[in-house]
Each structure stands twice: as structure tokens, then as C-alpha cells.
Amino acid sequence: MDSEEYSESNSSYEDISDESDSDEDTLDASRNWCRIDQENLAPPPPRFPFSGNPGLNTRMDGSSPIEFFCIFFDDDIVGYIASETNRYAEDFIEKNDLTASSRVQKWKDVDSSEIRVFLGIIILQGIVQKPLQKWYWLQRPLLSTPYLKQLMSEKRFSIIMKFLHFTNNETIDLETHPQPGLRKIYEVYDTINRKFKSSYVPERDVSVDESLLLYKGRLGCKQYLPKKRARFGIKFYQLCESSSGYIWNSLIYTGKDMPLWNESPKYKSTTNIVMTLLEDLIDKGYCVTLVNFYTSLELAELLLSHRTDVYGTLRPNRIGVPEEIKKVTLKKGEIIGFQKGKICVMKYMDKKPICILSTVHNTVIVEQDKKRKKTHGKSERIVSKKPQAIIDYNLTMGGVDKADQCLSYYPTVRNQQKKYYLKIFRQILNQSVWNSFVLYKKNRAPCPIWTSAFSLLKNWPKYMGNRTFFTKYYIF
């Protein structure tokens, strides 16, 4: 291993996507790790020029969250859900020998307006939370919510939930389907996910992490993640804007049939996952923050070739990491780093060793105000020292966690939901409410999410068109 000290100037950080084949000496040198001289630090590598245009792509004249929600759940998607629900109900009635007393015999087709009322009730159930769904229609004064009875009867809500469907079962071809594991929900999931991307351009800093939707039913792609709150469930790979938590892109794990950016065996699956989520953002100067599950030298080099910066925690046993990073023992506060081209790998000892890979940082350690401690009645300032890379990581890595935290406050997802595709649909609805809140907050004065959710429901009549919000659906 090359152990020479690294103390070059800022001009040495060349854009590797612009290197020519004739620069053989430069390329050969960049393949070797150079030990960073902590006493004579070079400036951090410059970021790629940012060519994105952050902001909302759709002009919005209104001031209500419902108008932002309508960007995602527009007339087309609501009409599609109503059509497939009616189709599934008709097929079910035709193929099953039902008794005359069965309530299914009294089924009447839903329309787009009724589906909107149905969605409004689901969102309201996230704000007014009760253990069981049927409790929302209880007659007891202590637990009753009479407003829901004015919207829809409990029997009508239950029968719509029973037949709620999102695809035509007769036309599904598992061999040609883009993601067979999601065939029951794919059309709606893919459409909403595309709207998340097309409606808004994120700011420069984005983060990639995984989110787990609690589900303990029978499902082949169910995952177990002991560090997540849910532990068992359906795994979402998500790309979020670091500052706001806006969910810009997501992938649902379904095993080998999950569509990825490049299925070539030369790239690892974690590399392909990140590149799939970033596909429409590469070559624009974005900077992505990663957890150690995704971070690797392979991914960093690939992102640099697409003019995209990256930094994140790193597992020291990754292929290509300098051996000294793996073996060296440091005292608290000590740091060691190696540079190769624009890529810096460092190891810092805090309470435990932390490894970081970055294309925009060096190993500089800075002071940070941690908190003020009171000693004998006097306030005392406590200063901690950390690498700038770790400070920036803590600032930009929380996009997915921020979205998950806020989604947990007013969940539309219910633990009793047995069908996996209904569980995913409720989560998509929840994500749409969250993203509409983020866009509303960016275009208007900041407000708490519960205020936005309440305002969304208050303005729900606009979403229903000409039908009044207090229409009664006493079908049975």
C-alpha cells in the first residue's frame, strides 16, 4: 500500500468523468490510496456544479393543502380505483354462490365522488385514532364520532374496503409484468410514485434509506429488520429531500423481480438500488447521503462518473478500503484518512470507531456546540470536536427518518389490515398526505402537520366536485 503523505492543492481534484485516455500517469496515481497528513490538510474536494432547478413543477394558485393533495390523487387515479373496484365486485358476485341474505348481494357500484369520501374517512381515521375500525360507528356517547355517520354508513364503508381493488386480475401476465410481486397494487403505486417525482424537483442534498411498513401476514417478500420499530414488514427503499423529508422516489422490495437500474452482475444490488432511486437526478450535481448498508467504493466511483457527489458511513470490510483503516486502533478524538482522487475514506474514534466515505470532505475536525450544562446553578458551555463530515452527515441523513416520524403521528395504515396490497395502498395515501403537506409548507407559511391535515379535510368538498361533503350513503 502506498503510504506517502497526501497534501496536494485543490486543483488536484479533477472531474473523473472528463479524464482522457491519454492521462495515464494521472489515472495510475489515482488508483493508489494516499495517506492524509492531518497537520497539512489540503482543501476539501469541490462539489460538482449544481444544474437542478428545485421547486414545484406545477403552478398552484390556491392556498389549501387539498389542492396539493389533488396533484397526486387526481381524477384519473380516483376514477381508475372506482372502475377496478366495481369490476372486482362484479366478478366476485358472479363466481361465488352467495346466499340471499348476504350483504354482498346488495352491492351497488361506487363512483369517483364516493371513493373520495372513502379516502377522506381513511385520512380522518388517522387523526381521530381508535383501536378498531368499527368503533368509529359506535352509538355510545363516550366513543361515538357522529360525523362519520353523516358521510357513510359502517356497512357501506366495510363493503367498499372488502372490494377495494387496483388491477384487473384477468389481464395479469406474470411473465411480462414489470414487478409481479406487486401485481395487485402496481398500477396505483407506480402512478403515484411518478407523480411524486414529476411534481417537485428536490434541493441539492438528498438521502437514501429504508423504511419498514409493519405487516405480519403471509407474504414472500416480508422482511425482518430488528433495528426498525416495526421489525417485520414490507420494506421500502426511499430517496427523500434531506431538508424537508419530501418522499421523491421509492422502491418496494419484492426479491429478484424488483426492477433495478442495471441488473448487470458487475454491480452489487445495493449499488443498483441507489442508482435506480437516483436515475433522474444523476449528472446534475446532486449530493446523496447514505447509511453504511449502501456506501461502497464501487458506488462512489460510479456516482462520480455521473457527476454526483456522495458521503455516508462506511463498513470497514468493504472491498477496496485501505487495510490500515480496518486494522488501526485509535484513541478517542483521533482520526486517520486516505485519499484517492476525489474519494476520501476516514476513520474517527468517538465512543466507538466511525468510518466515513466522502467525495466532498477532508479530515478536518471542527468545534461544535453540543449543549449547555448547569453546574452549581451556573450555565456552562460544552464544546465537542467532530470531523466536518460527521456533522454534515447528521444534518443531511435524516430525510427518510423525518418522513417516517411524521407519518407515524397520524397513520392511515391499520394493523388489522390482512391484505398486503391494501396495507401498501394506505401507506401510499399516507405518503401523499405527507408530501402535500411539505409542498404546502414550502409555498405558504410554515405550520404543524396536524393543522395541514385538518385543513385538508375541511376543504375536502372541493375535492368531491359538486356533491356536498355531508351526502349520506345509507345504501343498505
Task: For residue 98, name the pLDDT band (cuts at 50, 70, 90).
Answer: confident
DSSP 8-class letter at 50: P
Looking at residues 118-123, what average pLDDT do you find?
Answer: 89
- The residue type at 300: A
CB 296 within 8 A of CB 267: no
In Å, what is the CA distance from 164 to each residue of 48, 130, 304, 426?
47, 22, 45, 11
Using alpha carbons only, give the angle 31, 35, 39 rounded to the nearest 5 degrees.
145
For 355, list phi and psi in degrees, rounded to 5: -105, 135
Q: Would you state the pLDDT for residue 225?
A: 75
CB 356 within 8 A of CB 307: no
The Cα 36–Cα 371 span in angstroms is: 31
Q: Provide CB contacts within 8 A for 164, sequence distance 6+.
A: 81, 85, 422, 425
Report the SS3 class of residue 430: helix
DSSP 8-class letter at 18: G
The Cα 294–Cα 130 span in angstroms is: 38
- The residue type at 117: V
How would you classify the pairing of strands 343-349 and 353-358? Answer: antiparallel
In Å, what is the CA distance from 6 to each residue of 75, 142, 298, 340, 349?
59, 71, 22, 9, 21
Q: Which three cell numbers stand for residue 280?
A: 433522474
Q: Would you state the pLDDT for residue 359?
A: 97
**Residue 177 burial (CB < 10 Å; 0-12/13-18/19+)?**
middle
DSSP 8-class letter at 181: G
The Cα 470–Cα 205 span in angstroms is: 44
Q: Which three cell numbers stand for residue 347?
A: 476513520
Q: pLDDT for 44-54, tens place per residue?
A: 999 999 999 99
Q: Would you state the pLDDT for residue 409?
A: 78
Say whether pLDDT at 312 is over 60.
Answer: yes
Q: Would you state the pLDDT for residue 443?
A: 80
Q: Which three cell numbers stand for residue 5?
A: 503523505
Q: Is the dihedral of CA 262, 268, 270, 274 positive or negative?
A: negative
Say whether pLDDT at 412 is over 70.
Answer: yes
Lowest mean per-residue pLDDT among 29-38, 215-224, 439-448: 439-448
Computed on alpha carbons and rounded to an integer, the radius of gyration of the chain in Å comes to: 26
Report the SS3 class of residue 326: helix
Q: Provide CB contacts within 8 A for 41, sequence distance 6+.
A: 7, 362, 363, 364
Say whether pLDDT at 462 is over 60.
Answer: no
> If we measure between CA atoms, which residue out of 270, 268, 313, 269 comes closest to residue 289?
313
Q: Is the dihedral of CA 289, 291, 294, 296 positive or negative?
A: positive
Task: For residue 440, name the pLDDT band (cuts at 50, 70, 90).
Answer: confident
Say whether pLDDT at 32 is over 90.
Answer: no
Q: At what angle do helices 449-458 and 399-409 cross, to 10 degrees?
A: 50
CB 6 within 8 A of CB 42: yes
Lowest mean per-residue pLDDT among 220-229, 309-318, 402-411: 220-229
Cβ count near 379 (within 10 Å) = 8
The Cα 277–Cα 270 span in angstroms is: 11
Q: What is the mean pLDDT of the chain?
A: 83
Task: For residue 376, name the pLDDT band (cuts at 50, 70, 90).
Answer: low
